[in-house]
A and B are shown apart, each in its own frame.
Chain A
Amino acid sequence: MNAKKLMGFAAFLLVVFVFVPMFISATGRWDFYYTLTSVALLSVGAAGVWLTFYIGRINIGQGAYALVGGYVSTILVTQAGVSFWLTLPLAGLFCAFISVLIGFPILRLRGVYFAMVTLVLTEVARLSALALPITNGAKGITSIPQPGELSLFGLTIIPAFGSLSNPRVGFYVMAVVLMIITYLVLWRIVNSRLGHLCRSLQQNEELSASIGVNTAYLRLLAYAISSFFGGIAGAMFASIAQSIYPSSFVVADSVNFMLYCFLGGLGYVFGPMLGTLLLYFGWDLLSIAKEYQLLIYSGVMILLMLVLPNGVLSLLDKKESRA
């Protein structure tokens, strides 16, 4: 990591942990905390979708894993009394595990076939949540306790959320930290040997298989990592909302995850983060337009696509090539 990137990273930290809280307390828009927490968590899920794009698969099934992750964490917390902090990785691992089972057959599909199967997967998750006895059907699970204290060797790392004077700030910080870790991991993956192999899959699967790349294994690995991100995002969401329903993550959410990636730019690691911020925050800001909200939102989305078909971050490319 060179100095320029380190500076950028420091600036980013400064913005999210100092400037944003300052801005919010100056303007008094406390609801922005909730919006930004959602942005951070959704971008964790979107990071997973982006990784499947990176191996050349269109993933419209992230909502399914977010829902599963949410339920796993919730059920462990409410029925087994496990600490939330332990359920967070467990939810991710569970999602990764079932994604391997499901991915084994469906990752053989390509193009729109894979896209449509994953879309259907979201519906399967929703209908299963409605039908299974443990998920409590359409009523969902409500009044989930807030995350408790996390301590290591008697040292409190994260205080209990119930004792915080302002849990909203706590959730914001936690979500942003999670997002930063996710994107650091993603950045590391992309710039490693694994990332290069994934890129070879994106370009031509037969060719990369012919020179000895274990494509089936790589596809499963990438899909499992992707679902892991989806699962932890869903688990955090359920904990923040203190409730989860079968309709917490539906097809529209899965499609949105994909749109965040497209809008930010598929060729850029930080594309999904920017895309999530623009789309989700933009949608929130547009609520002043009342009944024209959806019209303006979708109109802007279509316009952006017409002007920048390769994502917002492709603006950077043009500058570089001109210089």
Chain B
Amino acid sequence: MEQIIANGLYLGAQYALIALGLTLIFSLMNVLNFAHGQMYVFGGFVTYTVVVQLGLPFIVGLFASAIVLAIMGAAIEKFLFAPVVRRSKRDESTMLLAAGVAFFLDAVILLFFGEKQRGVPKIVNGVFNWDMRIIMPYDRILIGVLAILLIVVFIAFMNYSKTGRAMRALAQDKMAAQLMGVNVARYSMIGFALGAMLAGLVGGLLVTITGVNLGMGGPTSIKAFLMIMIGGAGVISGAIAGGFILGMMESVGLTVLSAYGDITYLVIFATLMIFLAVRPQGLMGKPWG
């Protein structure tokens, strides 16, 4: 039992971090970022390149991922999303663009990094063993703690910095924020960059444990969509709750349902459908997003 909870918390911390980036982009621009999973994979490959091929310490790789992805996110917002949002008749047109970006990133990853599974050597060795009740490698604990730390930093940033306040105002009411003198174009760009950066950071963290490969992008995006649906799209607390809930459900499901074959995700999806039928806006979302 303790083992299941520990696994769930570890998974949940990573998931929450992925969902945070996605929900931030959604709340600011009303864009469902299909490319989020690909950004995560890209971040993982950047860390891999810096750590394994250039031989630099892990922390440098993590920073490199964050910076590369932040620049990429800012560029994507400024040159692609902003013009399309301005000119298209329907909001949803950005979905085609997001999917195009996802394909593009896939292609770039394929050309730059190839299709092989890549990993970084363990950063800490050893296994934590509490009386055979919780067994967990130290590197997983470290990554879990780092992820939770990043979530705390992110929340503090959103709550107490001027940029964070501006972005929250934008998410609440774009028109009102603009009238109060918030530079919408600038903060949309910063928000997109921040969301992409979070995806890159998770990629950098997880490359040490699970490794990354080209095919991981799409499934990761779907999981991230699930999380923000559970919690409510565009709400930061919802994304965190959704991440931890999905992590816990996965951990419990894999243990309890393993006897019945590979049906954990089927059960999760079915539960989600019933839940959404009762509460369409998720746990903490605004009605009709």
CB–CB A113/B229 < 8 A: yes
Interface 1/0s, chain A 48-72, versus B by CB < 8 A?
0000010000100000000000000
Residue B107 CB within 8 A of the other chain: yes
Q: In residues 91-107 of chain A, which contact B (Cβ within 8 Å)?
A: 102, 105-106
A106-B273, A258-B95 are known contacts. Are A112 and B26 too (CB-CB below 8 A)? yes
Interface 1/0s, chain A 304-323, versus B by CB < 8 A?
01100110000000000000
Stretch of A4-12, A39-47, A211-219, A295-303 lying at the B interface? A295-303
Q: How far is the CA of A93 from the CA of B24 in the complex (A)?
A: 41
Q: How large is the interface on A (under 10, 10 to 19, 20 to 34, 35 or more residues)?
A: 35 or more
The closest CB in chain B to the CB of A261 belongs to B96
The closest CB in chain B to the CB of A262 belongs to B96
Q: How far is the CA of A168 from the CA of B26 in the complex (A)?
A: 46
Residue B152 CB within 8 A of the other chain: no
Stretch of B66-74, B173-181, B261-269 lying at the A interface? B261-269
CB–CB B218/A294 < 8 A: no
Q: How far is the CB of B81 from chain A (nearest CB, A)?
A: 10
Q: In residues 255-281 of chain A, which contact B (Cβ within 8 Å)?
A: 255, 258-259, 262-263, 266-267
Chain A residues contacting B228 (CB-CB under 8 Å) are 116
Chain B residues contacting A115 (CB-CB under 8 Å) are 32, 95
Contact of B280 among A113, A119, A127, A266 (CB under 8 A): A113
Q: In residues 109-125 of chain A, which contact B (Cβ within 8 Å)?
A: 109-113, 115-117, 119-121, 123-124
Q: In residues 64-111 of chain B, which contact A (Cβ within 8 Å)?
A: 80, 83-84, 87-90, 92-93, 95-97, 99-101, 103-104, 106-108, 110-111
Q: How far is the CA of A163 from the CA of B222 in the complex (A)?
A: 45
Residue A287 CB within 8 A of the other chain: no
Residue A134 CB within 8 A of the other chain: no
Chain A residues contacting B262 (CB-CB under 8 Å) are 127, 130-131
A298-B107, A302-B101 are known contacts. Are A128 and B95 too (CB-CB below 8 A)? no
Chain B residues contacting A109 (CB-CB under 8 Å) are 276, 280
Main secondary structure of the interface of A (DSSP, over half): helix
Q: How far is the CA of A119 from the CA of B272 in the complex (A)?
A: 12
- Interchain Cβ contacts within 8 Å, total number: 139
Residue B281 CB within 8 A of the other chain: yes
Residue B289 CB within 8 A of the other chain: yes
CB–CB A298/B104 < 8 A: yes
Chain B residues contacting A53 (CB-CB under 8 Å) are 92
A111-B289, A113-B281 are known contacts. Are A259 and B269 too (CB-CB below 8 A)? no
CB–CB A120/B88 < 8 A: no
Residue A29 CB within 8 A of the other chain: no
CB–CB B100/A305 < 8 A: yes
Q: How far is the CB of B273 from chain A (nearest CB, A)?
A: 7
Q: How far is the CA of A212 from the CA of B108 in the complex (A)?
A: 52
CB–CB B229/A117 < 8 A: yes
Q: How far is the CA of A116 from the CA of B231 in the complex (A)?
A: 13
Q: How far is the CA of A301 from the CA of B99 in the complex (A)?
A: 9
Q: How far is the CA of A179 from the CA of B265 in the complex (A)?
A: 35
CB–CB A310/B89 < 8 A: yes
Chain B residues contacting A255 (CB-CB under 8 Å) are 34, 99
Q: How far is the CB of A318 from chain B (nearest CB, A)?
A: 13
The closest CB in chain B to the CB of A122 belongs to B222
The closest CB in chain A to the CB of B232 belongs to A113
Residue A291 CB within 8 A of the other chain: yes
Chain A residues contacting B289 (CB-CB under 8 Å) are 110-113
A131-B266, A310-B89 are known contacts. Are A294 and B106 too (CB-CB below 8 A)? yes
Residue of A115, A267, A295 with highest tally of chain B CB at under 10 A: A295
Residue A139 CB within 8 A of the other chain: no
Residue B277 CB within 8 A of the other chain: yes
The closest CB in chain B to the CB of A111 belongs to B289
The closest CB in chain B to the CB of A105 belongs to B277
A58-B95, A259-B96 are known contacts. Are A291 and B110 too (CB-CB below 8 A)? yes
Chain A residues contacting B266 (CB-CB under 8 Å) are 124, 127-128, 131
The closest CB in chain A to the CB of B108 belongs to A295
CB–CB A309/B273 < 8 A: no
Contact of B103 among A120, A267, A301 (CB under 8 A): A301
Residue B270 CB within 8 A of the other chain: yes
Chain B residues contacting A119 (CB-CB under 8 Å) are 222, 225
Contact of B225 among A116, A124, A130 (CB under 8 A): A116
Q: How far is the CA of A119 from the CA of B103 in the complex (A)?
A: 17
Residue of A106, A117, A258, A310 with highest tally of chain B CB at under 10 A: A117
Q: In residues 216-261 of chain B, which contact A (Cβ within 8 Å)?
A: 218, 222, 225-226, 228-229, 233, 261
The closest CB in chain B to the CB of A314 belongs to B89
Q: How far is the CB of A317 from chain B (nearest CB, A)?
A: 10
Q: How far is the CA of A210 from the CA of B273 in the complex (A)?
A: 28
14 further interface pairs, Cβ-Cβ under 8 Å (given A116-B32, A291-B110, A309-B84)? A102-B273, A105-B274, A106-B276, A109-B280, A112-B26, A116-B226, A117-B229, A119-B222, A120-B273, A262-B92, A267-B89, A305-B84, A309-B89, A310-B90
- The 12 listed contacts between A and B (C-beta, < 8 Å) are A110-B288, A111-B289, A113-B282, A116-B233, A120-B222, A120-B229, A127-B262, A127-B266, A251-B218, A295-B108, A305-B97, A310-B93
Lowest 7 A-B CB distances belong to which pairs? A105-B277, A309-B88, A298-B103, A294-B107, A262-B96, A295-B107, A298-B104
Interface residues of A (CB under 8 A from B): 53, 58, 102, 105-106, 108-113, 115-117, 119-121, 123-124, 127-128, 130-131, 251-252, 255, 258-259, 262-263, 266-267, 291-292, 294-295, 297-299, 301-302, 305-306, 309-310
